[in-house]
Structure 1
Amino acid sequence: MKLDPEQRQNLLDWLGPPPGYRLEAGVGTAFSAELDVVTAAVLALVGEDHEPGAVPAVSLAYAVERVGRRFRLFINQGGLLIPAEGGQRMATLFDGFVRPVVLASGAFHPKVWVLRFRARESPEMHGAPDRFRLICSSRNLTDSKCWELGAMLEGTLGAIPLADSLGSDAAAFVRQLHKGDDAPSPSVRELVEVLPRVRFEVEGTARLRWQWPGVARARPLKDELPEAPSRALVLSPFLRAPLVTRLAQADHLTLVSTQRELDALPEATHTALKRHAVYVLEDLAGEGPLSGDLHAKFYAFEGEEGGTLLGSANATGPGWGEGPLANVEAMLHLQPGLPFAKALRDLVEDKKGVHPWLHEYERREVEEDAEAKAERLLDTVGRLVSSLQLRAAFDAGTRQVTLRLLNPERLAQVPGGLQLALAPYALVSTGRASAWVEITPEWPEAAYPDVELTQVCAFVLFRVKHTDSGGERVFGLQAAAADLVAVREGRDAALLQQALTSVEPSALLLRLLGRASSGVSLGTRDVTGSGAAERAGPPPLFERMSVERVLEACTEDPGRVVEVEACLRTFGPLIDPAFLRFWEDFSKAFRDYRREAGP
Structure 2
Amino acid sequence: MQPDPAFDPENRELYTAMMRAPDGYRFDHAVATTYSLDFETALAIPIAIVFRDAENRDEMLRSPLALLQSVERMAERIAIYCDRGRIKSANPNAARLMALYEKSIVEVSAPGGGAFHPKLWCLRFQPEKRGEPVRMRLAILSRNLTNDRCWDLALCLDGTVDYDEENGSNEPIARLLRALPGLANRSTRPTEPAFLRSLVRDLQHCWWSDLPAGATRISFAVNGLGTERWEPKKGERIAILSPFVSNEALKWLVDGYAEPGASQLIARPEELDCLNSSVRSLFQVQTLDSRATEFEEGDEEAADTGNLEGLHAKAYVVERGSRLHIHLGSANATVAALVPTKSGRTQNVEVMAELDGPKTRMGTIEQALFSEGFKRLLIPYEPSEAPTEDARLAAEKLLDRLRREIAAVPLDLNCNELGDLVGLEVSVAGAVPVVELPDGVACFLRPITVANLSGHDAAALFQARVPLAVGHLPLGDVTRWLGVRLHHQPTNMECSFTLGARLVDLPEGRDAAVLSAHIANAENFFRYLSLLLGSLGEGSFLEGEAAGEGQWLQRFGQGGSSLLEPMVRALNMGGDELREIDALLRRLDSPEGDGNIVPEEFRELWASFAPLLGSSKARR
User: 1:455 Cα shift?
Assistant: 2.1
Structure 2 SS opposite 1:362: coil
Equivalent residue runs for 1:536-555 within 5 Å = 538-542=557-561, 544-545=562-563, 547=565, 549-553=566-570
Q: Hey, what does 1:478 align to over in structure 2?
A: 500
- CA contact 1:408–1:444 (8 Å) conserved in 2: no
Question: Deviation string for 1:215-270 (max 9, x for gaps)?
Answer: x4x6222xx322x42111111111111111112322411110011111111x3xx3
Amino acid at match of 1:53: D
CA distance, structure 1, for counterparts of residue 574 and residue 173 of structure 2: 27
Alignment of 1:207-246 (within 5 A): 207-213=219-225, 216=226, 219-221=228-230, 224-226=231-233, 228-246=234-252
2:357 is aligned with 1:336: yes
Distance apart, 1:159 and its partner CA: 3.2
**Structure 2 CA distance for partners of 1:148 and 1:554, relative to 1, 3 Å:** farther
Q: Which residue of 2 aligns with 1:41?
A: 45
Map 1:514-533 to 2 at 5 A. 514=534, 515-521=538-544
Which of residues 210, 214, 218 is equivalent to 1:206?
218
CA contact (8 A) 1:308 1:335 kept: yes
Distance 1:178 1:21, change over 3 A: farther
Tell me the amino acid that sits aligned with residue 468 of structure 1: P
For normalisation by structure 2, the TM-score amounts to 0.82
- How many Å separate the matches in 1 of 2:467 and 2:358? 52
CA-to-aligned-CA distance 1:82-138 (integer Å, 9 cap, x gap) = 147774421232212111113461111110110101134xxxx34333211000010
- 1:171 corresponding residue in structure 2: 174
Q: Aligned partners of 1:495, 1:470: CA distance in 2, in Å?
A: 36
1:61 aligned partner: 68
**Shift in Å, 1:488:** 8.1
In 1, are the aligned partners of 2:98 and 2:479 still within 8 Å (CA)? no
How far apart in 1 are the matches of 2:49 and 2:606? 30
Identity %: 24
CA distances 1:364-385 after superposition (whole Å, capped 9, x unpaired): 1123343333333334444445
Equivalent position SS for 1:487: coil
DSSP-derived class of the 1:411 partner: coil
Q: Does 1:300 align with 2:317?
A: yes
Q: State TM-score, norm by structure 1.
A: 0.85
Query: How many angstroms apart in 1 are the aligned matches of 2:201 and 2:136?
Result: 13
1:454 to 476, 494, 503: 476
Q: Map residues 113-124 of structure 1 onto 2, 5 A cutoff.
A: 113-120=121-128
Counterpart residue number, 1:112: 120
1:316 matched to 2:339: no
Aligned to 2:591: none
Q: Whole-Å Cα distance in 2 between the matches of residues 356 and 449 of structure 1?
A: 55
* 2:387 is equivalent to residue 371 of structure 1: no
Aligned length: 564
CA distance in 1, matches of 2:572, 2:199: 23
Q: Which moved more, 1:132-141 or 1:98-107?
A: 98-107
**Is 1:99–2:111 an aligned residue pair?**
no
Name 2:205's counterpart in structure 1: 197
Amino acid aligned to 1:173: L
Secondary structure, counterpart of 2:136 in structure 1: strand
State how far apart, in whole Å, the 1-side matches of 2:449 and 2:106 are. Answer: 18
Counterpart of 1:560? Answer: 577
Distance 1:557 1:165, change over 3 A: farther
> Aligned partners of 1:83 and 1:517: how far apart in 2?
28
- Does the C-alpha gap of structure 1 residues 488 and 210 become closer, same or farther in structure 2, counting only changes over 3 Å? farther
In structure 2, the residue matched to 1:76 is: 83
The 1:129–1:359 alpha-carbon spacing in structure 2 relative to 1, beyond 3 Å, is same
Which amino acid is the alignment partner of residue 328 of structure 2? L
Letter of the aligned partner of 1:207 in structure 2? S
Distance in 1 between residues matched to 2:570 and 2:358, nearest whole Å: 44
Q: Any idea what SS the aligned residue of 2:13 has?
A: coil
Structure 2 contact 34–81 (Cα < 8 Å) conserved:
yes
CA root-mean-square deviation: 3.2
3-state secondary structure, aligned to 1:184? coil
Query: CA 1:194–1:349 in structure 2 vs 1: closer, same or farther (change >3 Å)?
Result: closer
Distance of 1:87 and 1:418 partners within structure 2: 29
Bigger mean CA offset, 432-441 vs 142-151: 432-441
Structure 2 match to 1:529 = none
SS at match of 2:506: helix
The one of 240, 246, 254 equivalent to 1:248 is 254
Match in the other structure for 1:424: 447
Checking the alignment, whether the CA contact within 8 Å between 1:233 and 1:344 is kept in structure 2 is no
Distance 2:251 2:218 in 1: 27
| 3-12 or 379-388: bigger deviation | 379-388
Q: What amino acid does structure 2 have at the position aligned with 1:374?
A: A
Of 169-178 and 493-502, deviating more is 169-178
| Gap change, CA 1:416 and 1:3, over 3 Å in 2 | farther
> Which AA in structure 1 matches 2:484?
F
* Structure 1 counterpart of 2:490, one-letter code: D
Mapped contact 2:159–2:208 kept (Cα < 8 A): yes
Q: CA deviation at 1:272?
A: 3.5
Paired with 2:470 and 2:311, the residues of 1 have a C-alpha distance of 42
Q: Distance in 2 between matches of 1:264 and 1:127?
A: 58
Rounded Cα–Cα distance in structure 2 between residues aligned with 1:462 and 1:245: 39
Alignment partners' CA distance in 2, 1:263 and 1:497:
55
Aligned mates of 2:312, 2:453 — CA distance in 1: 37
What is the CA deviation profile of residues 544-594 of structure 1, one whole-angstrom value per residue up to 9, with x for unaligned ones? Answer: 2554x4354356575423321244455443444663232223223226x49
Q: Is the 8 A contact 1:509 1:567 kept in 2?
A: no
In 2, Cα distance between the equivalents of 1:422 and 1:437? 6
Contact 2:456 2:470 in 1 (8 A): yes
Q: Residue 583 of structure 1 aligns to which amino acid in structure 2?
A: F
Judging changes above 3 Å, is the alpha-carbon distance between structure 1 residues 537 and 574 closer, same or farther for their aligned structure 2 residues? farther
Distance 1:283 1:411 in 2: 40
- Per the alignment, residue 411 of structure 1 pairs with 435
Q: Secondary structure at the match of 2:57?
A: coil
Deviates more, 1:415-424 or 1:147-156: 415-424
Moved over 6 A (4+): 337-340, 533-537
Q: Distance in 2 between matches of 1:489 and 1:11?
A: 36
Segments of 5+ residues of structure 2 without an aligned counterpart are: 296-302, 589-594
Q: Is the 8 A contact 1:206 1:335 kept in 2?
A: yes
CA contact (8 A) 1:500 1:567 kept: no
Are residue 587 (structure 1) and residue 607 (structure 2) matched?
no
Give the letter for the 1:588 counterpart.
G
Instruction: Give 5+ residue unaligned stretches, structure 1.
Output: 527-532
Pick which of 59-68 and 71-80 moved more: 59-68
1:258 alignment partner in structure 2? 268
User: Contact 1:62 / 1:563 at 8 angstroms: preserved in 2?
Assistant: no
